[in-house]
Chains A and B, each alone.
Chain A
């Protein structure tokens, strides 16, 4: 089908490669078949389930505090960038429906060095993202405790960090030892959240537009409609759009990948973008920047209280807990798949993809996901974690667009995507420029953290796997 990957890593392991045939329902190798078991709804649930936890339940307060109602525009900008990347990603994913997602496309399209950087950055990016979701979960858990009348005599940050760490340990242990499939539960949670949000936001819009309810009690501090703050807020909240790439990490498990992958990725981006823009509009119409800043991560609870009283606040707390949990859990799963993809290509030690004999789960990869997640969650730094996660993902997004351009320029024989991005190079070029450009609007600290991580991954390549050749190999 294509030339073999070449070279070995420092331990003498070569990438695992063999001829496979991809059908709509299975991947057929020489001696075995791998059943594709995820349908379109499963794919959408992964994408949406990963995203809404951040965008709906954590960011409205933080983004609204920056620019007020103009944060709606920030979320729209983020959504457009995500869509510009989701389209090229869909093309690559239908041509290479393999587990590993962005890492796989870039290592094949651009070579081993960019591949290693992205593969390891995807792992660590997901680690940052998961830690961020867990800290968000911590804030909601704190609010939930307050509702049931438990107040803890310690500073908020400490309590949130403790809850986040405990949740991180819990998710890691559950994923290593749990053999019950939670996929159906996840689908149910996403469906529940979506219907809850549509009802809540529908009522919120009616209220804001003055059809129902009372005059808003919000303050009068002005919104900041200016390009630079809007875009730098977009850079902050871009973590809300990381989920569609998680869909690509399970590309090897999607049924009818040629149809379902583009639908799941593009569909989940479009759906969450609409929800985000409306949510922010409602939240920032009810409260002004100063109020939102004081509410912080759980500003949506106050929005719920304002709109529907104590019941509304309760609904948002429950929703926030479910959404941040589903985000965290979906990310832990993607992280272990990202590690597996890299380890299979001999860029990480082979033991990283060993499977536990007792539970049948990839305990090493889950541990490599869970360990750093717990450490980062302990920092409790919501904005830094979010931006570092976005930074690492945006590099991957930009490179995926570049990889698409590179692969198209001299199309290998095996390159036969079911979905092609219309308009020639226009969309991938804009997608790459937008992804790299957005990084420039981030906080300095986040850029430093992200750059250090990337340099470390490049260093790992030169130390461990400089002789491995993956470019152009299917």
Chain B
């Protein structure tokens, strides 16, 4: 089954909403309780003082996820660097997605952003697993300059999802991806995004996800970059660059021809 990682700052009073628990019911869940310490405080020292309290809270969350459906477990980490911790644990449990828990009562409208150079197949496979046969309306969203190519991509993606019995609509815009995404986020209950770079940090803790998370209020699910797709993505990117380069050369060639004539 697909596993997702839900990082929660339990000792800061952060928790998981009922809507997210039911949204993730088809998934295996690892709840990552973490506590960020100032550098003056050795992690071990904080553990002695807070371990029991944090473990109690995490076991409650774990039980809630388990009774909703899938398998659930928890990890508790004391750290000085939350990015490093989330990154490490996500890799160790082989999580397909990292979930920034937001508040939601129930998820009826799911926004799936396919803007930019993200692994579309993997995001779609994740959405298929996530939605299953539940009554959730999915919006496939693309923003960026290449509107015609994007429309094609979204349409074939929509066909793919509809094949699994999911209700889908598509939306494209030529606005800049982040601004456009922030514009449509509030109308949905949860957001699925893809991780763009090999380094998970750039996305999950970059401006983009933070801003999406704060704009949406609801949960943001970030589909992780996958080692095995690493090559394919890079290749595709290279091909794209090459194609652009060729076009540019042709254009220059054309220009010079024009000048001569």
Contacts and interface: CB of A to CB of B under 8 A. Distances in A.
Interface stretch (B35-43, B142-150, B210-218, B231-239): B35-43
B39 A183 contact: yes
A47 B78 CA distance: 24
B44 interface: yes
B38 A360 contact: yes
B113 interface: no
Given A35-B77, A362-B45, A181 B38 contact: yes
B41 A26 contact: no
A250 B42 CA distance: 8
Contacts of A176: 40
Interface stretch (A230-238, A332-340, A399-407): A332-340
A252 B40 CA distance: 13
Contacts of A35: 43, 77-81, 84-85, 88
Interface string B12-49: 00000000000000000000000001111111111111
A288 B193 CA distance: 69
A31 B40 CA distance: 23
Nearest to A359: B38
A353 interface: yes
Contacts of A337: 42
A37 B79 contact: yes
A27 B40 contact: no
A25 B88 contact: yes
Nearest to A33: B77
A37 B77 contact: no
A291 interface: no
B76 A32 contact: yes
A39 to B, nearest CB: 10
Nearest to A35: B79
A34 interface: yes
A103 to B, nearest CB: 13
B170 interface: no
B45 A252 contact: no
A305 B45 CA distance: 47
A333 B39 CA distance: 8
Interface string B41-66: 11111111111001100000000000
A34 B39 CA distance: 13
Interface string A243-286: 00000001011000000000000000000000000000000000
B169 interface: no
Contacts of B47: 29, 32, 34
A21 interface: no
A353 B45 contact: yes
B39 A354 contact: no
A347 to B, nearest CB: 15
Interface string A16-43: 1000000001110101111101000000
B38 A34 contact: no
A178 B77 CA distance: 22
Contacts of B42: 99, 250, 252-253, 337, 340, 362
A252 B49 contact: no
Contacts of A31: 51, 55, 76
A355 interface: yes
A337 B43 CA distance: 10
Contact of B44 (A179, A252, A359): A252
A355 B78 contact: no
B164 interface: no
A197 to B, nearest CB: 25
B75 interface: yes
Contacts of A34: 43-44, 47, 77-79
Contact of B41 (A25, A27, A180, A361): A361
A178 B45 contact: no
Contacts of A361: 38, 40-41
A183 to B, nearest CB: 5
A360 B42 CA distance: 10
Nearest to B47: A32
Contacts of A354: 49
A469 interface: no
B40 A253 contact: no
A99 B55 CA distance: 23
A337 B39 CA distance: 11
Nearest to A249: B42
A99 B75 CA distance: 22
A182 interface: yes
B78 A32 contact: yes
23 contacts: A26-B77, A29-B47, A31-B51, A31-B55, A32-B47, A32-B76, A34-B44, A34-B78, A34-B79, A35-B77, A35-B80, A37-B79, A99-B42, A179-B38, A250-B42, A252-B42, A252-B44, A333-B39, A333-B40, A344-B45, A344-B48, A355-B41, A362-B40
Interface of B: 37-51, 54-55, 75-81, 84-85, 88
Interface of A: 16, 25-27, 29, 31-35, 37, 99, 175-176, 178-183, 250, 252-253, 333, 336-337, 340, 344, 353-355, 359-362, 366
Question: Lowest 7 CB-CB distances: which A-B pairs, in order?
Answer: A35-B79, A34-B43, A32-B76, A37-B80, A37-B81, A33-B77, A179-B38
